């Protein structure tokens, strides 16, 4: 997620307006399902632990812009206090002096404001109402992803008036949905069900582009069957969408997978006589209310092979036990799968929870409409209004690294360093490293000892000592003053057969030894031509963490270098945009592996052909943090020029 997070704000002592989604079902003055309250707790606790003064605001039900006793937040306050274990001061207003006084006087716990939809200005996103809402506060945090597709005063208006950030739940939602939307691991299987085709046309269209297979269940399959000219009895069919359905089917080809058998009954009721039918012989007079067991098996075969699953809408009328088996079968298959699985939609979530399988999925979105719109790639007003994370250069110090490869004897190395140092002596805004052959590494390390230049090795072995003829270890490198090491350079992978497994062991050992590993990844020409660039590169990045927990180390402890292997020494060039594209994706993957702040700290270098002529453009790319320079680093003067060229962009 590239939006500013509550974790990026200094909240101590601050009065924070938090938009939450407490739109929960209430019966007889009691909250009957508190899932949405639960999901907001991490942000509330986060703020309390850091000494903020939070006040929560939400809508509840459908009051008509005026107070409605049916829709008061009082029952929510009671349940929230039980869950949170701190006092909740519930106010009967959402704006005005009372709010200011409560914030000033209240020393413990939190404030809960009254239903935002008691005010006509809420749904109109009225500027004056937004002013009133914002005025008692210092900061605004939005944790209500479920209403992010609505431009209301509490989701958009106030966000423009106060320093704003995403809450922890909002952040998690965006992170998971970005993984679905931006770089899904394949095969990617989308499962869509529920009542209406019309609700889900947009998502169907985008899933046909994004996913490898689209499994259709629920009532919506009947519109497709009807469009195919099949008998559908009294099943729910949207006659107005038959043309759309035909069009989708012709466009989708094999990707669209429809049920092969169905459960049909006279009525949508428990105990109604039902029978199992093939889709080709649907009996007139009956309604299709669930997918059949053969369909479940068929869907399972897709689900078990998937690496990414997105599911919206139940497979049948799950509210009635007799028609819940399809949804259950699919849910169990998703629960068993190792894939990243994300579910959304009010009814699907209810179905999964009823089965007790919510923890078996990777993530359950709190957004129904919002998650669909977001995955479709539409802009959500409540997300768009939040400011982007500030990307300061200082968060990641650029690094220019010289890789001498198998060149230079000791005398040449000494001359090089002697020439380089005065030329870059005032380079304070970036790091410089020299990766030297073992024979002259000691000399380089000694000469650069009290300078900003880091001396590094081009390789090492992950065992510390023993019967490994020809190798050197991490402690040996440290012993002669090396501070960094290249791991898995493309030449080592290609010429010396270094595997992902060895790269993983070396990376982990370097980190544990306190050597900065520069882990090289990149695809070969043939892989690029076969459209397998990202498969290769993402595989290498993932593999590097085999023995290392990305969530458990600092981002500063590891550096990656992306080398488009096909562009090295071949005359073919990768453009700065190609570099950004690949490196941006790598950063996205690092975020997935180790979280947002980890990914923000990891430096990713570009290892294509860097020259004085293109260094400016390359460094200007937002995710590119420097270069691993081969040929152009062999001469001190030209490497110094590159370092200074990089500095020119940073300033």
CB 94 within 8 Å of CB 58:
no
Contact, 216 vs 225, CB < 8 A?
no
Q: How far apart are CA 629 and CA 644, in angstroms?
A: 14
Report if residue 347 touches Mg ion, rule: CB under 5 A.
Answer: yes
- Please identify, among the stretches 151-159, 284-292, 344-352, 402-410, the one whose residues bind Mg ion according to the rule CB under 5 A: 344-352
Name the binder of 317 from ligand ADP, Mg ion, none, CB < 5-8 A by kind.
ligand ADP
67 binds ligand ADP (CB under 6 A): no
Based on the shown chain and the rule CB under 6 A, indicate whether residue 146 belongs to the binding site for ligand ADP: no
Block residue for tokens 């929230």: 80
Of 35 and 476, which CB lies nearer to ligand ADP in the complex structure? 35
Asked whether the beta carbons of 251 and 208 are under 8 A apart, the reply is yes
Residue 312 touches which member of Mg ion, ligand ADP, none, C-beta under 5-8 Å by kind: ligand ADP
Partner from ligand ADP, Mg ion, none binding residue 326, C-beta < 5-8 Å depending on class: none
Reference 191, options 327, 318, 325, 297; nearest CA is 327
Contact 487, 506 (CB under 8 A): yes
Angle between helices 636-650 and 410-423 (to 10 degrees): 30
User: Is 369 one of the binding residues for Mg ion (CB under 5 A)?
Assistant: no
Q: Under rule CB under 6 A, how many of the chain's residues touch ligand ADP? A: 19
Residue ranges of the alpha helices (H) in 182-292?
197-210, 221-227, 242-252
**With contact defined as beta carbons under 8 Å apart, do 504 and 511 qualify?**
no
Binding segment for ligand ADP (CB under 6 A), chosen from 47-55, 243-251, 306-314, 638-646, is 306-314
Using the rule CB under 6 A, is 236 a contact of ligand ADP? yes
The vertex-45 CA angle with 44 and 46, nearest 5°, equals: 90
Please give the Cα distance from 79 to 31 (Å, whole number): 7
Residue (326 or 488) nearer to Mg ion, CB: 326
Contact range with ligand ADP by CB under 6 A, out of 102-110, 339-347, 531-539, 591-599: 339-347
Please say if 563 is a catalytic residue. yes
Q: Which of 387, 390, 369 is nearest to 378 (CA)?
A: 369
Closest listed residue to residue 311, CA positions, set 468, 188, 437, 220: 188
Residue 244's CB is within 10 A of a number of other CB atoms, namely 18
Q: Which residues contact 93 (CB under 8 A, 6 or more apart)?
A: 99, 113, 114
Using CB under 5 A, pick the residue from 187, 202, 346, 369 that binds Mg ion: 346
Nearest CA-CA partner of 339 in 363, 364, 307: 307
Structural tokens at position 395: 């968060």
Whole-number Å distance between alpha carbons of 182 and 342: 14
Smallest gap from residue 391 Cβ to Mg ion (A):
38
**Of the listed 172, 489, 591, 600, which one is catalytic?**
489
Site for Mg ion in 147-206 (CB under 5 A): none
Question: Dihedral through CA 262, CA 266, CA 269, CA 271, nearest 10?
Answer: -90
Site pattern 363..392 for ligand ADP (x: CB under 6 A): -----x------------------------
C-beta of 204: minimal distance to Mg ion in Å? 16
Residues, the chain: 651
Residue 230 binding partner per list Mg ion, ligand ADP, none, with a CB distance cut-off of 5 to 8 Å that depends on partner kind? none
Site for ligand ADP in 165-224 (CB under 6 A): 194-195, 199, 218-219
Give which of Mg ion, ligand ADP, none residue 348 binds (C-beta under 5 to 8 Å, depending on kind). ligand ADP
Point out the catalytic residue in the list 172, 373, 563, 592.
Answer: 563
Peptide bond between residue 295 and the one before it cis (omega within 30 degrees of 0)? no
CB of 199 to Mg ion, least distance (A): 8
Q: Looking at 75, 167, 184, 345, which residue binds ligand ADP (CB under 6 A)?
A: 345
**Footprint of Mg ion on residues 1-30 (CB under 5 A)?**
none
Could you tell me the smallest distance in angstroms from the CB atom of residue 146 to ligand ADP? 12
Residues numbered 255-294 forming contacts with ligand ADP, rule: CB under 6 A: 288-289
Side-chain-side CA neighbours of residue 101 (13 Å): 6
Does residue number 35 form part of the binding site for ligand ADP (CB under 6 A)? Answer: no
Q: How far is the CB of 345 from Mg ion (least distance, A)?
A: 6
Catalytic annotation present for 577: no
Sites for Mg ion among residues 413-472 (CB under 5 A): none
Judged by beta carbon distances under 5 to 8 A according to partner kind, the member of ligand ADP, Mg ion, none in contact with residue 218 is ligand ADP
Q: How far is the CB of 356 from ligand ADP (least distance, A)?
A: 17
What residue 175 binds from ligand ADP, Mg ion, none (CB within 5 to 8 A, per partner kind)?
A: none
Residue closer to Mg ion, measured from CB, 293 or 346: 346
CA 274 vs. chain centroid, Å, equals 43
* d(C-alpha 153, C-alpha 115), whole Å: 12
Q: Give the residue, chosen from 18, 165, 317, 558, that forms a contact with ligand ADP under the rule CB under 6 A.
A: 317
Q: Is 293 in the site for Mg ion (CB under 5 A)?
A: no
Contact 533, 582 (CB under 8 A): yes
Comparing CB distances to ligand ADP, the nearer of 352 and 510 is 352
Beta bridge partners of 291: 262
Least gap, CB of 638 to ligand ADP (angstroms): 60
d(CA 543, CA 586): 13
H or E element in which residue 39 lies: helix 35-49
Q: How far is CA 468 from CA 74, 273, 295, 452, 471, in A?
A: 71, 74, 56, 33, 6
Q: How far is the CB of 191 from ligand ADP (least distance, A)?
A: 11
The one of ligand ADP, Mg ion, none whose footprint includes residue 52, by CB under 5 to 8 A per kind, is none
Beta-ladder partners of 55: 17, 111
User: How far is C-alpha 35 from the chain's CA centre?
Assistant: 22
- The least CB distance from residue 141 to Mg ion, in Å, is 27
Q: Which is nearer to Mg ion, 157 or 314 (CB)?
A: 314
- Minimum Å distance from CB 614 to ligand ADP? 49
Q: How far apart are CA 162 and CA 17, in angstroms?
A: 9
The catalytic residue positions are: 489, 563
Binding site for ligand ADP (CB under 6 A): 194-195, 199, 218-219, 236, 288-289, 312-314, 316-317, 319, 345-348, 368
Binding site for Mg ion (CB under 5 A): 346-347
């Amino acid at each position: 997620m590239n939006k500013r997070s509550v974790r990026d704000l200094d909240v101590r002592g601050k009065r924070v307006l938090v938009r939450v989604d407490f739109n929960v079902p209430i019966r007889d003055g009691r909250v009957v399902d508190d899932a949405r309250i639960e999901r907001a707790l991490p942000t509330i606790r986060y703020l309390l632990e850091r000494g903020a003064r939070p006040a929560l605001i939400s809508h509840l039900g459908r009051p008509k812009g005026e107070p409605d006793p049916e829709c008061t937040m009082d029952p929510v306050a009671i349940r929230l206090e039980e869950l949170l274990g701190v006092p909740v001061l519930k106010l009967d207003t959402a704006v005005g002096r009372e709010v200011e006084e409560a914030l000033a006087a209240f020393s413990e716990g939190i404030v809960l404001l009254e239903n935002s939809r008691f005010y006509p200005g809420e749904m109109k996103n009225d500027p004056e109402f937004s002013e009133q809402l914002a005025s008692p506060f210092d900061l605004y945090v939005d944790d209500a992803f479920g209403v992010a597709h609505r431009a209301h005063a509490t989701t958009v208006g106030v966000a423009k008036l106060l320093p704003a950030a995403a809450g922890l739940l909002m952040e998690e939602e965006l992170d998971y949905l970005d993984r679905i939307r931006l770089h899904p691991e394949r095969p990617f299987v989308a499962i869509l069900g529920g009542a209406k085709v019309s609700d889900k046309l947009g998502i169907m269209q985008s899933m046909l582009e994004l996913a490898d297979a689209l499994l259709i269940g629920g009532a919506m399959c009947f519109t497709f069957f009807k469009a195919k000219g099949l008998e559908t009895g009294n099943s729910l069919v949207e006659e107005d969408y038959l043309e759309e359905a035909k069009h989708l089917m012709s466009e989708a080809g094999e990707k669209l997978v429809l049920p092969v058998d169905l459960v049909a009954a006279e009525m949508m009721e428990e105990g109604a006589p039902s029978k199992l039918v093939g889709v080709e012989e649907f009996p007139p007079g009956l309604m299709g209310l669930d997918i059949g067991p053969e369909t479940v098996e068929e869907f399972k075969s897709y689900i078990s092979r998937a690496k990414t699953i997105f599911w919206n809408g139940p497979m049948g009328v799950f509210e009635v036990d007799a028609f819940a088996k399809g949804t259950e079968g699919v849910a169990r298959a998703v629960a068993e799968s190792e894939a990243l699985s994300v579910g959304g939609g009010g009814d699907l979530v209810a179905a999964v929870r009823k089965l007790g399988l919510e923890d078996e999925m990777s993530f359950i979105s709190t957004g129904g409409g919002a998650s669909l719109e977001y995955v479709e790639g539409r802009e959500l007003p409540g997300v768009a209004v939040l400011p982007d994370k500030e990307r300061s250069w200082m968060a990641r110090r650029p690094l220019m690294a010289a890789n001498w490869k198998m060149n230079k004897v000791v005398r040449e190395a000494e001359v090089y360093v002697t020439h380089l140092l005065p030329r870059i002596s005032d380079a304070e805004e970036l790091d410089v490293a020299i990766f030297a052959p073992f024979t002259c590494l000691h000399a380089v390390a000694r000469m650069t000892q009290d300078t900003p230049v880091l001396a590094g090795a081009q390789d090492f072995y992950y065992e510390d000592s023993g019967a490994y003829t020809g190798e050197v270890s991490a402690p040996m490198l440290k012993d002669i003053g090396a501070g960094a090491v290249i791991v898995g350079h493309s030449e080592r992978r290609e010429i010396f057969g270094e595997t992902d497994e060895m790269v993983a062991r070396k990376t982990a050992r370097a980190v544990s030894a306190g050597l900065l590993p520069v882990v090289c990844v990149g695809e070969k020409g043939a892989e690029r031509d076969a459209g397998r660039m990202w498969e290769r590169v993402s595989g290498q990045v993932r593999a590097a963490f085999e023995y290392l927990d990305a969530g458990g180390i600092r981002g500063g402890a590891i550096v990656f270098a992306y080398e488009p292997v096909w562009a090295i020494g071949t005359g073919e060039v990768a453009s700065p945009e190609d570099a950004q594209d690949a490196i941006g994706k790598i950063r996205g993957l690092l975020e997935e592996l180790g979280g947002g702040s980890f990914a923000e700290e990891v430096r990713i270098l570009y290892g294509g052909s860097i020259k004085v002529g293109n260094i400016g453009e390359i460094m200007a790319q937002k995710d590119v943090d420097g270069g691993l320079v081969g040929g152009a680093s062999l001469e001190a003067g030209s490497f110094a020029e590159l370092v200074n060229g990089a500095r020119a962009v940073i300033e």
